């Protein structure tokens, strides 16, 4: 099993919808970007393939791509997480699954498999965090969005850089990864305020120099 706090240090999230550059083949773009990011030192990868320009309407192609991403992560000994799609995560032997407040409950997910599965849960408020804190099924908390973001069509109100400190001061002890519009210049402050790491999408997926982008976020 992975060290959760270590795994959250630099958490890359992406799907085909996030990789329009390089070539016309978005799946190939994702694989190229992911391997560069793994080589440069990301500590976790979440396969989040949904929305416009994704493979959501092509489940077999999506599954095949997820397996390729999983295999790349295995090669670099980095945890491979699937967003939301619990059945896919279990079927392909992902290391974990990440869900939102309105997705399948972590309790139900634990009941679906007897294999060790990392479970992450998105949070936006202190109330969310307290629920997560009390659920033994939740291994880590995603907390955000820190800033407005274009990566999600609908997102909760931004919480700002200081919210994670409020959460720690209030007694939240579970591992936290900050997400949402995070850039390199925010990383030190977020970690000083109590985040175990940061999660990014476009800061890496749209970077002109992926290794440089990864290094700047470490």
What domains can you pick out in the chain, each with its CATH number? 4-217 (3.20.20.70)
- Alpha-carbon distance of 122 to 102, in angstroms, equals 10
Torsion over CA: 59, 72, 3, 194 (sign): negative
Q: Please name the residue that has the structure tokens 């175990």.
A: 196
Q: What is the pLDDT along the chain (218 residues), one digit of tens a residue?
A: 799 999 999 999 999 999 999 899 999 999 999 999 999 999 999 999 999 999 999 999 999 999 999 999 999 999 999 999 999 999 999 999 999 999 999 999 999 999 999 999 999 999 999 999 999 999 999 999 999 987 766 668 999 999 999 999 999 999 999 999 999 999 999 999 999 999 999 999 999 999 999 999 99
The verdict on whether omega for the bond into residue 145 sits within 30 degrees of 0, i.e. cis, is: yes
Do 36 and 21 form a contact (C-beta atoms < 8 A)? Answer: no
Mean pLDDT of the chain: 96
Annotated binding site: 46-50, 83-84, 103, 122, 149-152, 181, 201-202
How is residue 45 written in tokens? Answer: 């990868």
Q: Please name the residue that has the structure tokens 């240090």.
A: 9
Annotated binding site for Mg(2+): 84, 103
Query: How confident is the model over 31-46, as pLDDT tens digits?
Result: 999 999 999 999 999 9
Do 138 and 121 form a contact (C-beta atoms < 8 A)? Answer: yes
pTM of the model: 0.97
């Amino acid at each position: 099993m992975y060290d959760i706090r270590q795994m959250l240090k630099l958490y890359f999230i992406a799907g085909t919808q996030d990789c329009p550059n390089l070539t016309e083949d978005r799946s190939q773009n994702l694989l190229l970007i992911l391997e560069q990011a793994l080589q440069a030192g990301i500590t976790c990868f979440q396969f989040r393939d949904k929305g416009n320009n994704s493979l959501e309407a092509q489940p077999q192609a999506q599954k095949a791509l997820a397996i390729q991403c999983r295999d790349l992560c295995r090669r670099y000994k980095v945890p491979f997480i699937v967003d939301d799609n619990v059945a896919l995560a279990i079927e392909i032997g992902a290391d974990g699954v990440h869900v939102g407040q309105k997705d399948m409950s972590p309790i139900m997910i634990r009941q679906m498999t007897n294999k060790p599965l990392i479970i992450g849960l998105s949070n936006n408020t202190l109330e969310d965090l307290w629920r997560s804190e009390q659920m033994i099924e939740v291994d880590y908390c995603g907390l955000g969005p820190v800033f407005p973001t274009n990566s999600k069509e609908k997102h909760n109100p931004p919480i700002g850089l200081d919210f994670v400190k409020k959460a720690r001061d209030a007694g939240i002890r579970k591992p936290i990864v900050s997400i949402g519009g995070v850039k390199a210049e925010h990383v030190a402050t977020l970690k000083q305020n109590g985040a175990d790491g940061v999660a990014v999408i476009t800061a890496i997926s749209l970077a002109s120099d992926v290794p440089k982008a990864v290094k700047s976020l470490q």
